[in-house]
Amino acid sequence: ETGVTQTPRHLVMGMTNKKSLKCEQHLGHNAMYWYKQSAKKPLELMFVYNFKEQTENNSVPSRFSPECPNSSHLFLHLHTLQPEDSALYLCASSPGQGREKLFFGSGTQLSVL
Amino acid sequence: EDQVTQSPEALRLQEGESSSLNCSYTVSGLRGLFWYRQDPGKGPEFLFTLYSAGEEKEKERLKATLTKKESFLHITAPKPEDSATYLCAVQAVGDSSYKLIFGSGTRLLVRP
């Protein structure tokens, strides 16, 4: 398997549920990112990890909790979400120097009921 | 405030009908401008990076150009497979090396 893989592809959850999104990259990169893509809105950067250390937290609500156990894996833990959190959540990776092109996964389409 | 605006929001072309997409940006200083293509149900795919005014990059039917205030993505003789959403993003001087400011995209439909 190559590239950036995200699971699940689709997720429906209630506001009281707890779920996790998973991202895995097979490119040997050191930086991993979470982006949120809402309908007709620009991509919003949520978190960045470089060499497993969080380097960016773009004022994301605490109901989103990232985890990066190693440079190849990234998780986004979700709890007590709101309907406005429904969106496409994209994971990306890059070699790790910054100012680089990003390699995106296909995303998880999340619906919060 | 740093801002990226893409126009038009949507564009319909006949196969073979050349056109241009616009990305205008307002940043204190530009480190780099990126173009991505996004197909439905997929993540964005990198196309080009431009760093300085006057720079141009080409790939098949696509050509990206950059001025001090905007970038154009020229599509020459498009084919139906060029249908996608094209995203522009900028990296600003003074921002984190990992931060990109994205525009809302241009949805391109090329009809056969």
Q: What is the pLDDT of residues A7-51, one digit of tens each?
A: 999 999 998 889 999 999 999 999 999 999 998 899 999 999 988
pLDDT digits (tens, 9 = 90+) for B19-41: 999 999 998 889 999 999 999 99
Tokens of B106: 């241009």
Sheet of B62-66, strand order: B3-7, B19-26, B70-75, B62-66, B56-59
Residue A1 in this model has a pLDDT that exceeds 70: no
Q: What is the pLDDT of residues B39-67, one digit of tens each?
A: 999 999 999 999 999 999 999 999 999 99
**Can you tell me the distance from the alpha carbon of B24 to that of A32, in angstroms, rounded to the nearest whole number?**
27
Give the per-residue pLDDT at A2: 66
Structure tokens that stand for A66 in this block: 């990232």
Q: Which residue has the higher pLDDT, A17 or A86?
A: A86
Q: Is the pLDDT of residue A97 over 90?
A: no
B102: nearest CB among A40, A42, A103: A42
Question: Which residues of A make CB contacts under 8 Å with B?
Answer: 4, 31, 33, 40-45, 48, 50, 55-56, 90-92, 94, 97-99, 101-107
Please tell me the distance from the alpha carbon of residue B50 to that of residue B60, in angstroms, as a whole number.
Answer: 17
Report the pLDDT value the prediction gives residue B24, as an integer from 0 to 100: 98
Cis-peptide into A8, omega within 30 deg: yes
Give the pLDDT band of residue B95 (cuts 50, 70, 90): confident
- Section A63-76 average pLDDT: 96
Of A41, A98, A106, the CB nearest to B104: A41
